[in-house]
Amino acid sequence: MTQPPRLEVTHLAKSFDRRRVVDDVSLSVMPGQVTCLLGPSGCGKSTTLRIIAGVDRPDAGRIAVDGALICDSTTSVPPEDRSIGLMFQDFALFPHLSVAQNVAFGLGRGRDVAPRVAEMLARVDLPDYGNRYPHELSGGEQQRVALARAIAPRPRIMLMDEPFSGLDDRLRDEIRDQTLDVLKAEGTAVLLVTHEPGEAMRMADEIALMRDGRIVQRGAPYNIYNTPVDLAAAAFFSDIN
């Protein structure tokens, strides 16, 4: 039997004020792989992610994790029970908590969480930072702590919404690479939202190209790059950097 996708989204739809913002979206992420949801600003990427995270309800469609239904017209597993981690650009660290307390945040109480916190801080190359506070860290270091915090509870899926756009160019490449290494080492399936074709080309195993609420093309990065579905897709990829 073939393995089911870690995340499978089928025929998702959502309207705001009778305008279809997410229109028949289907996509999947295999375990240990990165799927990029790529498209221009306003095309419906964040709305799709919010529905998958469970903080918004779809009008239609279904979502399954490892073959188990978590959302359809009659079912909605609450966000905290979906085994989904989130990383957003403005998903800030708690300023009043130390680095170690930030990383421990999602691990619950009463358990011995210290070994997992230490393991995560080592993973992101900040082994001695546990007692520092967020304001004592650079932007890149804060991003790495946010990554450690997001993966500490071992989510099966990580949803990332433009998580690198607040970083300067030089740092961004480094953090992208490190984030990928950490997520691959943990075997996490990643759905990464971006409006930058270069970022998708660099990070994705599969790209789902989105426009006006619809997925217009899905495939391996170089297949999409070399064989764009139409002129608009070709133009979108032409300002790659």
- The binding site for ligand ADP (CB under 6 A) comprises 16, 21, 39, 41-47
Q: Which does 16 bind (CB under 5 to 8 A by kind): Mg ion, ligand ADP, none?
A: ligand ADP
DSSP calls for 71-108? ESSS-B--GGGS-EEEEETT-PPPTTS-HHHHHHGGG-
21's CB contacts (< 8 A; 6+ apart) are 14, 15, 44, 47, 213
Residue 42 or residue 198: which is nearer to ligand ADP going by CB? Answer: 42
Residue 46 or residue 76: which is nearer to ligand ADP going by CB? Answer: 46
Among the listed residues 15, 26, 46, 89, the single contact to Mg ion using CB under 5 A: 46
Q: Does 89 bind Mg ion (CB under 5 A)?
A: no
And the tokens for 9?
């989204």
Angle between helices 139-151 and 114-123 (to 10 degrees): 130
Residue 44 or residue 134: which is nearer to ligand ADP going by CB? Answer: 44
Per CB under 5 A, the segment of 46-54, 59-67, 72-80, 173-181 that binds Mg ion is: 46-54
* Single-letter residue type at 185: A
Which residue do the tokens 């930058």 mark?
Answer: 196
Q: Give least dist CB 193 to ligand ADP, A.
A: 7
Residue 16 or residue 241: which is nearer to ligand ADP going by CB? Answer: 16
And the tokens for 165?
């756009």
